Structure 1
Amino acid sequence: MDPQAGPPAGACRSADSYLPEHGNGGYRVEHYDLDLAYKVRSNRLSGRATLTAVARQPLGRFSLDLGAFTVPRVTVDGKQARFIHRGGKLHVTPARPVASGASFVVEVRYGGNPRPIDSPWGDIGWDELTDGALVAAQPVGAPSWFPCNDHPADKAAYRIAVTVEAPYTVLATGVPTARRRSAGSRTWVFERPEPTASYLVSVQIGRYEQLVLARGGVPQVAGVPARLRKNAARDLGRHGQIMTTCEGFFGPYPFGDYVVVVTDDDLDDPIEAQGMSIFGANHVDGKRTHERLVVHELAHQWFGNSLTIADWRHIWLNEGFATYAEWLWSEASGGPAAQAHAHEWHAAVARLPADLVLADPGVERLFDQRVYKRGALALHALRLRIGDERFFALLRTWTTQHRHGSVTTEQFTALACVHAGADLSPFFSEWLYGQALPDLPR
């Protein structure tokens, strides 16, 4: 380790307009291979992360995002590398520079007590439960448990192996591919071949039983504590119908499976991950009180996960679409129509300060409820403006053209104009770039 070596200019920053300190320049990651061992009682994580990456420019040095762990060793292409680990960045100097366009392999050994990362939105990342652990990484929590290029546009494939004590079950991002037993422990292996943003990679550890949510089509299962099984079976009982309805609106489900986790602890909000959603014990009451949240998190598999925003300022493309999915399910399942929800929330948003620009809300307002509700209102207004046939064709084209890619507001508005067969610039200027809340079209 060379304490004098500093990172090159731009290497430890991304091009993100909101969170440039998260993510790194000069390369992209193609694959992460994570081998983890976790002890629940002592909250001790030991890891070996192997990253296969491609250089975008000549690299004499590069950086990764990583939280407060001890790092005893880093290699690049099998050769020991010099490194500095400080301020949430692991700065690496390979034995030999990496040529532009070349593929290279980084291996990082690390360990310690994982803890969430402080952020303007609270503690984010790996967190202890009463009897287990969870990952809630949006938007900057991934470095709390593995070294990564922590930017939503840097999407990669994953293999994750987690070893825990025998009483515990592991549910992680990816399709389960192997399970191994040894004295007192179990190793669970998952693979996610689809390109995945680091904040959408998750590990859930607890005493879970499996609950099948739907048979046929997309495999849909839940991991639930025994005491919550009855309530979860009721509250998630229409999940197969919800999936079919969402596929009708948005096109084929974009991943190989879908897993719901219900923790034994209460959670403030549900959490989305790639092919997975996580709910707290407080979200299952046997009365389907929170079914809209079940729909919301499933919709993120299209909007946010398959179609991942290229920059955090485009967050409405995640939350506005997922919120509008709630209204669509309500309409499709015999509840209030989307029009009724739109009028209710238009009145509610109109009572709030008119100081938010939907397409650029600012980092402090990344998760402002107006991003969610005004985003859904903008979509409903667009539906009224261009008609159902063109609107739903637009949504299906949007998810198909950009499947497993990165998206921007400008891409969506351009595609909407194509489907409308008209220039919608004045419409989008009001709804996405103006502060005042427009009236809903009649």
Structure 2
Amino acid sequence: MKKSVLLALALICSGAWAQHNHNFTLQDTLRGSITPEREWWDLNFYHLKVDVKPDDKFISGSNIIRYEVLKPYQKLQVDLQPPLKIDKVIQDGEILQVKSVGNAHFVTLKKPQIKGQTNEITVHYSGHPKEAVRAPWDGGLSWKKDESGQHFIATSCQGLGASVWWPNKDHMYDEVDSMKISVTVPEDLMDVSNGQLIGVDHNQEEKTKTYHWSVANPINNYGVNLNIADYVHFDDIFNGENGELQLDFYVLKPNLEKAKKQFTQASKMLEAFEYWFGPYPFYEDGFKLVEVPYLGMEHQSSVTYGNGYENGYLGRDVSGSGWGLKFDFIIIHESGHEWFANNITYKDIADMWIHESFTSYSENLYLDYYFGKQASSEYVIGIRKNIANDAPIIGQYNVNSSGSSDMYYKGANMLHTLRQLIDDDQKWRSILRGLNSEFYHQTVTTEQIEGYISEKSGIDLTAFFNQYLRTVKIPKLQLKISGKTLKYRYVNIVEDFDMPVRIDINGKTQWIQPNAKWQKLKAASTIGDLEVDENFYIESEPIK
């Protein structure tokens, strides 16, 4: 216990983050770092049991945590956020000692932990969980009512952490291999969670039903969800690259007909994204869209939806191009996370761009698939107006700190620029599909993604990624015209940035490769018209 706290304090005081003006706490480090009490064991399986009392906004239950011992150690960290409390922890029938440091709870194990063994503990807990203030951004449990007065409940917890509503190993680096979820609710309600429904127990005496869900694939903690309402269900089959995929849809009764129309976009999404990214990563667990009382979230195989059954983002085109009204933003964006977030998952939330940049970019790839390359370009260029350039896209490591929200719109434009730079759409598609194959069901780092794309593209992208991910600088291409001569250079760039760019001179397209030094190009005739290809996310500046 003392050792882990001292380590956390050392990390807080280290120069690794001192250059940032953030006041990180011990809790940030215990949540965001791989502590000694985490690193010695590898997650295998969860069985989460939750009894939900909607009238009291109260939950209770337990979680079986099964793990493999990687090296001997006698303390284990479990995470659970107040006001929830751990009631007891049991291993092999014995109640264990627990010491709590805020959200982190350190369990002293009596049984010797021997390398290679598989052991398990059961954590019992209860309480009134944090209520979501502005889900999904400020998450927790949303306790709402539908228009008929029935309970309408859902969880959302990315960033905040799944430990806001259930006890677990709340760090992204270690995904559980599979899990079972058992949720007990009043008998007039239904729970929809991840994976496949394998059974429902009806307790007539208690007037409750328990819904049992099985997740066959690895899943990150924030991807686990419960959604409780008086749902109606309909389904479909998608014939995809790996065969038949079960599609299940759960919505409130008054919205059934609207949902049957709007949710046809699920199959269109799957067709487009299997083309660009490869097979849907969770055939065994199916795919669900579930109506919830907030905008939506990428819960694995249980994508949540609250976009009002209309195209756009709550009816609005975020690009201003018109193309954003050709699709339902939440269906397309949140489902895109099945590839980038749920299949390929960041180890540390500082690398959250891996989720959000690729998935924001997936919106214009969807448009590309159905409406063509011009529509795709107009959309992604249109979203540039939303870029703030207020902080780097990559956040601070080991303290549960994500980077700037520019990971969405700027990240999408970075990837669109990279497509231009590679200048071979088949190669670009093979890279996107290759990422989902190479890192299938894995947690990854930025360096792994950068390295893979550099290797497969055959381009050293070190400076490119440094420029767009690690600074707020937008490359500026300065241009001087004198008769037939064009002089050009980049300013506002990182060291060694020399990205080629397409330009049009007098209607003729050609490539130039600027760097920090002035270079010259001689045209065949006096330069009258000069345009820089706007598909590259750079600024241009004429110099007199």
**Shorter-chain TM-score above 0.5:** yes
Q: TM-score, normalised by structure 1?
A: 0.88
Moved more, 153-162 or 28-37: 28-37
Please give the secondary structure, in 1, of the residue aligned with 2:383.
Answer: helix
Match of 2:449 among 409, 412, 416: 412
2:394–2:402 Cα contact (<8 Å) kept: no
Q: Are residue 160 (structure 1) and residue 181 (structure 2) matched?
A: yes
Distance (Å, rounded) in 2 between the aligned partners of 1:138 and 1:358:
17
2:161 corresponds to 1:141: yes
2:341 aligned partner: 304
Could you tell me which of 74, 78, 81 is aligned with 1:64? 78
Shift of residue 220, structure 1, vs aligned partner: 1.4
Question: Which residue of 2 is the match for residue 53 of structure 1?
Answer: 67
Change (3 A) 1:406 1:8: same
Q: Measure how far apart 1:241 and its partner are.
A: 1.5
State the AA in 1 paired with 2:290.
V
- CA distance in 1: counterparts of 2:213 and 2:346, whole angstroms: 25
- CA spacing shift, 1:208–1:105, aligned 2, 3 Å: same
Letter in 1 for 2:164: S
Deviation (angstroms), 1:62: 1.9
RMSD: 2.9
Task: Find the counterpart in structure 2 of residue 181 from structure 1.
Answer: 202
User: Quick one: which of 194, 202, 216 aligns to 2:225?
Assistant: 202
Distance 1:51 1:312, change over 3 A: same
Aligned to 1:9: 4
In structure 1, how many angstroms separate the alpha carbons of the residues matched to 2:270 and 2:88?
45
Asked if 1:260 corresponds to 2:260, the answer is no
Alignment partners' CA distance in 1, 2:308 and 2:29? 34
Distance 1:329 1:102, change over 3 A: same
> Which residue number corresponds to residue 388 of structure 1?
425
User: Mapping of 1:119-134 within 5 angstroms?
Assistant: 123-130=138-145, 131-134=151-154
Deviations 1:366-400 (A, max 9, x none): 37441101111111111111121111100111000
Match of 1:294 among 328, 331, 345: 331
If you compute each CA radius of gyration, which structure gives the higher value, 1 or 2?
A: 2
Q: CA 1:227–1:63 in 2, change beyond 3 Å: closer, same or farther?
A: same
Q: Is the 8 A contact 2:135 2:142 kept in 1?
A: no
Change (3 A) 1:347 1:66: closer
- The match for 1:339 is 377
Q: Kindly state the Cα deviation for residue 430 of structure 1 after the two structures are TM-superposed.
A: 2.2
Structure 1 counterpart of 2:268, one-letter code: Q
Aligned to 2:253: 226
2:308 aligns with one of 264, 267, 283? 283
Contact 1:12 1:89 in 2 (8 A): no
Choose 357-366 or 416-425, whichever is displaced more: 357-366
Give the superposition deviation at 1:119: 11
| Cα drift, residue 315 of structure 1 | 0.8
The range that moved more, 190-199 or 318-327, is 190-199
* Residues 74, 112 of structure 2: 8 Å contact kept: yes
Aligned ranges for residues 19-98 of structure 1 at < 5 Å?
Answer: 19-22=28-31, 24=35, 25=38, 26-67=40-81, 68-98=83-113
Task: State the one-letter code of the partner of 1:342.
Answer: V
Q: Distance in 2 between matches of 1:219 and 1:310?
A: 29
Structure 1 equivalent of residue 394 of structure 2: 359
The letter of the residue matching 1:167 is D
CA contact (8 A) 1:235 1:287 kept: no
What is the 5 A alignment of 1:426-441? 426-438=463-475, 441=501
Shift of 1:56: 3.5
Aligned equivalents of 1:170, 1:178: Cα separation in 2: 12
What amino acid sits opposite 2:407 in the alignment?
Answer: V
Please state how far the C-alpha of 1:207 moved relative to its aligned partner. 0.9
Q: Is the contact made by 1:49 and 1:147 (CA closer than 8 Å) also made in structure 2? A: yes
SS at match of 1:223: strand
How many residues are matched? 430
* Alignment partner of 1:379 is 2:415: yes
Tell me the equivalent position of 1:3. none
Q: Deviations over 1:22-58 (max 9, x none)?
A: 1652323211111222122122212021100123332
CA contact (8 A) 2:62 2:124 kept: yes
Amino acid at match of 2:190: T
Query: Could you list the per-position Cα deviations for residues 190-240 of structure 1 after superposition, in whole angstroms to 9, with x for gaps in the alignment?
Result: 111211111111111111111325454221121100111222222222221
Give the fraction of aligned pairs with identical amino acids, expressed as a percent. Answer: 23
1:21 is paired with a residue whose SS is helix
Distance 1:434 1:72 in 2: 46
- Provide closer, same or farther for how the CA distance between residues 31 and 291 of structure 1 changes in structure 2, counting only shifts above 3 A: same
Whole-Å separation in 1 of the counterparts to 2:435 and 2:312: 34
Structure 2: distance between partners of 1:206 and 1:296: 24
- Structure 1: which amino acid aligns with 2:353? W
Q: Distance in 2 between matches of 1:364 and 1:85?
A: 19
Asked whether 1:211 is paired with 2:246, we answer no
Higher RCO, Cα 8 Å, sep 6+: 1
Equivalent residues of 2:386, 2:409 under 8 A apart: no
What displacement does 1:69 show? Answer: 2.8
Cα distance in 1, alignment partners of residues 407 and 183 from structure 2: 36
How many Å separate the matches in 1 of 2:395 and 2:403? 12
TM-score, scaled relative to structure 2? 0.73
d(CA) in 1 for partners of 2:343, 2:456: 21
Relative distance call for 1:7 and 1:146 in structure 2 (3 A) is farther
Give, as a single letter, the amino acid of the residue that structure 2 aligns with 1:278.
Answer: T
Contact 1:142 1:148 in 2 (8 A): yes
Say if 2:198 is the partner of 1:169.
no
